[in-house]
Structure formats: C-alpha cells, structure tokens
Amino acid sequence: MEDSFIPTRLHLAHTLLPAPELSLAVHAHDMVELSAWLLASRRAALMIIPLHSADRDPAMPVMLWNEAGAPELALSAHLADPAYTFRSVLTALNRAADALLFALEPRWPGSTPPSGLGVVTDGFGLGFSPDDPDPRAPGWVRRQLRDQSLTLLLPFAPGGILSPPVKQRLA
C-alpha cells in the first residue's frame, strides 16, 4: 500500500524552503553536534575540521585547540586505532564535512574553494574564513580574534573564544 501523503510532503518541503541555505545549516548542525562530544571529552575550546575533496590536502587532520588558540591534538591519527572510543564519531564528522563541502562548493567563486579550507567550531557554532581559509596557518586563531572575519554558518557560544565581543548598550 502506497502512502500518497509522503510525496506531497516532500514536494512541499522542497518548494517552500530555500534548499541551499537549509542544506548548509543542516550540515553545519550535524558537524557541530558531532564535534561537541569530542570537544567535551578532551576539554578543548575549539576544533578545526578540514573540508576535503579530491584536489585538497588529505593529510589535514581534525585538530583540537586550547583556550589560548594553540593546537593541542590531531584527532585524525586516532582513526587507525580500532579501539579508539570516538572513532565512529570522527568518521561521521568527516562524512558531515564532505557533505558541507559539497553544499558550499557551488557558492564559492569559480565553484572551487581554496586548498586547505577548514571550518572551526566550539561545539555550538561553526564558521570559516574566506580570506584566511587554512586554520593550520600559524596565528590563524589570533587573526580571527583580531579581524573578526569569520563567515558564520552557526553562531558561536556566547562568551566563547571566537564569539563576538559583547557591546555595551547605552541606558
């Protein structure tokens, strides 16, 4: 027995919602949700996640960073260890990163994001820097704090290392 209601619901969802924006938000949310577990388990402030494709650096690791904005640990090395507790989470995170890149590529000038493009999350928000795309570059976090040039797909946690400063309101 076929449910004729399901195709109608799917049709309405695809025609009423802005699919490209919805797709970016869904993939960003998936990445943040998976990252939150890993950040909490290591008590890290930030996670840098590479966005891979065939022509990008396959050696770019998932990195945890501390409150000072310094790299702490490359998690990708743990993928080879079958006993690593969060191996399935890291694998799912890499799949979500691939999906985000697929949704992001058509929006990039020339549909080709730069090599080394990565996103940063605090387990709450997610962003990237179009002008400074490689979060492995020395001083990257400090530049983001100074310039506040991140493009946010989801806002960072209030009071977090990359959240925008709170502006005083006049009474």
Mean pLDDT of the chain: 75
pLDDT computed for residue 32 by the predictor: 94
pLDDT tens-digit series, residues 4-62:
433 333 333 344 434 556 678 888 999 999 999 889 888 889 998 888 655 555 566 78
pLDDT computed for residue 125 by the predictor: 92
CB 122 within 8 A of CB 156: yes
pLDDT computed for residue 2 by the predictor: 44
pLDDT band for 65, please (50, 70, 90 cuts): confident
pLDDT computed for residue 36 by the predictor: 93
pLDDT computed for residue 21 by the predictor: 63
pLDDT tens-digit series, residues 88-141:
888 888 889 988 988 888 877 777 788 778 899 999 999 988 888 888 788 888
